[in-house]
Amino acid sequence: MTPVILLAAEKESAEVTDWAARIGWLVGLALFVALVYWLMREGWKWRGTLQGDLPELPTAPEDPGPARLTLSGRYHGSTTAGQWLDRIVAHGLGSRSRVELTLTDAGLDVVRPGASDFFVPLAALREARLDKGIAGKVLTEGGLLVLTWAHGDRLLDSGFRSDQASEHHEWVDAINSMIETTTTEGAER
């Protein structure tokens, strides 16, 4: 006796019978996502309002002098100095972007395509260090160049990452040396 092989009939998916319930759930989910996005946006704007006392960002002088160092990479944002999660959003400082940094004897020129450029005078620079994180970005130890600088009556930390991470040490050494020289010259006067 030969075994009989029965072929299963072609499977069909069950028909959707309650279109109104499915559409209702999709509309509800879309409204929930839109509400969460709107609340996040309002929070960002509120943070900018709270930081409204921050003065306008300085612009580069007409002739800042020859470039000591240049860096191409990413700007990851600014925070209150020492508080790596307290993001500063006023004047576009919270917007991530590409960046071109130029260090001169006058200070640091920060050029950000698609965001507002700014200049940090040498007298405002306080420290350069390597760190692992700033609000919204965490990297390996030493993967982020963080510059502490004074703006108005606040100290800010701004985070940068070079396309060539090996450049970070050179930047830290150069900036800290310039700050130390400026501080020493100021104390001698």
Written as six digits, the tokens of 18 are: 């309650």
What's the whole-model pTM score?
A: 0.74
> Does any domain span residue 61?
no
- 71-82: per-residue pLDDT in tens? 999 999 898 888
Specify the pLDDT at position 186. 58
Written as six digits, the tokens of 114 are: 């698609």
* C-alpha–C-alpha distance, residues 81 and 153, integer Å: 12
> Does any domain span residue 11?
no
Please state the rounded mean pLDDT for residues 142-148. Answer: 89
* C-alpha–C-alpha distance, residues 97 and 182, integer Å: 30
Residue 28 domain boundaries: 19-50
Please state the rounded mean pLDDT for residues 146-156. Answer: 91
Between 133 and 179, name the one with better pLDDT.
179
Asked if 83 and 169 sit in the same domain, the reply is yes
Is a pLDDT exceeding 70 seen at residue 6?
A: no
Between 119 and 92, name the one with better pLDDT.
119
> Does any domain span residue 125?
yes
Asked if 147 and 108 sit in the same domain, the reply is yes
Task: Say if residues 57 and 91 touch (Cβ distance below 8 Å).
Answer: yes
> Does any domain span residue 164?
yes
| Domains contained in the chain, number | 2
Is a pLDDT exceeding 70 seen at residue 163?
A: yes
Specify the pLDDT at position 2. 61
> Does any domain span residue 55?
no
Percent of the chain with pLDDT over 90: 42
- 105-122: per-residue pLDDT in tens? 999 999 999 888 999 999
